[in-house]
Amino acid sequence: MDTIITKRSIPASSAFLTDVLKGLQQEEKFLSSKYFYDEKGDRIFQQIMEMDEYYLTNAEMEILQQQSPKLADLIAVDKQPFDLIELGAGDATKSIHLLKVLLKQQLDFTYLPIDISEHVIDDLEENLPKQLPELKMKGLNGDYFKMLQRAKELSNRRKVVLFMGANIGNMSLDDAKAFCQSLRNELSPNDLLIIGFDLKKNPRQILAAYNDAAGITRSFNLNLLHRINRELAGDFDVDAFDHYAFYDPESGACKSYLISLSEQQVNIGDETIQFKKNEPIYMEISQKYDLEDINQLAKNTGFTPVHRFFDHQEYFVDAVWRVD
């Protein structure tokens, strides 16, 4: 009789596993920062947003707190009903300022927050109605583009898409262009996109935001190794990796790496990955833009820039683009 060899079972459907192995089996190793956000990662990101060095959150918060009436005027041009779709809604602490103004103006709209984290959507559905009882909302948990499709099935009203928080920064310039093009293809003429960009500024200030003194960003990166250990039967010795952040003022790319401090091997399920001493894993890009880059991106992807909202220090911009 044949012997049946049982392998440790790994769920075949795990895109997480496939992506992790694909990234770590390359010549130049990388992991995707979209996997930073498990429950622990969500909590560390909250801490990042509260750090002194992480200027982005306060800057965009100021824009929403102070300029939501003007933003609402641009959104509600014709006072017709619309759907307000937020990609990567998080806890909506910024967009709530806009929601309040839209409700106060008695506009007919439904808020459709999309997030790939299920517990983010659960929290929103529990907490937002407490703060804004009149708000019509439906949370959509999943991939941005699949959920955009869903939103279009739910209604054919005009779409206003919010993509704030400099989330587009986690894409390379080429990927950002492809993303905006795909978004454009899901939308119709006169729909709006409100999109947040972190601006190029003093390189020291940018680097400090991603290389904080307390090491919170470091633990944010290392948490992905812990997550692989927890969820994918990995055995990373997390202490054997160091975090390194680097900002290039010419390209505007701020990149994070984890550096293997020794020659070592790591098992992930049935696979073994070799690391040389000082070998980097490329973890994340946080791309910075100037105003010219932003207008070019709009024009190259089928949008017309309509307006720009800045914080008083001009660290950050929320750009309003109309679909051509």
Binding site for ligand AVJ (CB under 6 A): 48, 56, 165-167, 169-170, 210, 217, 220, 284, 286
Alpha-carbon span 67 to 49, nearest angstrom: 21
Residue (260 or 286) nearer to ligand AVJ, CB:
286
- The minimum distance between CB 79 and ligand AVJ, in angstroms, equals 33
Alpha-carbon span 229 to 223, nearest angstrom: 10
Alpha-carbon span 241 to 261, nearest angstrom: 5
Alpha-carbon span 84 to 80, nearest angstrom: 12
Query: Closest residue (Cβ) to ligand AVJ?
Result: 286
Residue 103 contacts residue 132 (beta carbons within 8 Å): yes
- The minimum distance between CB 223 and ligand AVJ, in angstroms, equals 11
Residue (82 or 197) nearer to ligand AVJ, CB:
197
- Joined together, the tokens standing for residue 183 give 């978004």
- The minimum distance between CB 33 and ligand AVJ, in angstroms, equals 7
- The minimum distance between CB 30 and ligand AVJ, in angstroms, equals 15
Residue (315 or 321) nearer to ligand AVJ, CB:
315
Residue (206 or 273) nearer to ligand AVJ, CB:
206
Residue 289 contacts residue 268 (beta carbons within 8 Å): no
| Neighbouring-strand partners of residue 257 | 244, 282
Residue (21 or 221) nearer to ligand AVJ, CB:
221
- The minimum distance between CB 198 and ligand AVJ, in angstroms, equals 7
Residue (31 or 48) nearer to ligand AVJ, CB:
48
- The minimum distance between CB 103 and ligand AVJ, in angstroms, equals 27
Residue (102 or 287) nearer to ligand AVJ, CB:
287
- The minimum distance between CB 62 and ligand AVJ, in angstroms, equals 16
| Neighbouring-strand partners of residue 194 | 162, 320
- The minimum distance between CB 241 and ligand AVJ, in angstroms, equals 16
Alpha-carbon span 153 to 144, nearest angstrom: 14
Residue (47 or 110) nearer to ligand AVJ, CB:
47
Cα atoms in the Cβ-side hemisphere of radius 13 Å centred on 280: 11
- Joined together, the tokens standing for residue 268 give 């992930």
- Joined together, the tokens standing for residue 280 give 């980097």
Cα dihedral 91, 93, 94, 100, rounded to 10, equals 120
Alpha-carbon span 101 to 249, nearest angstrom: 37
Helix (H) or strand (E) holding 272: strand 271-275
Q: How many residues does the chain have?
A: 324
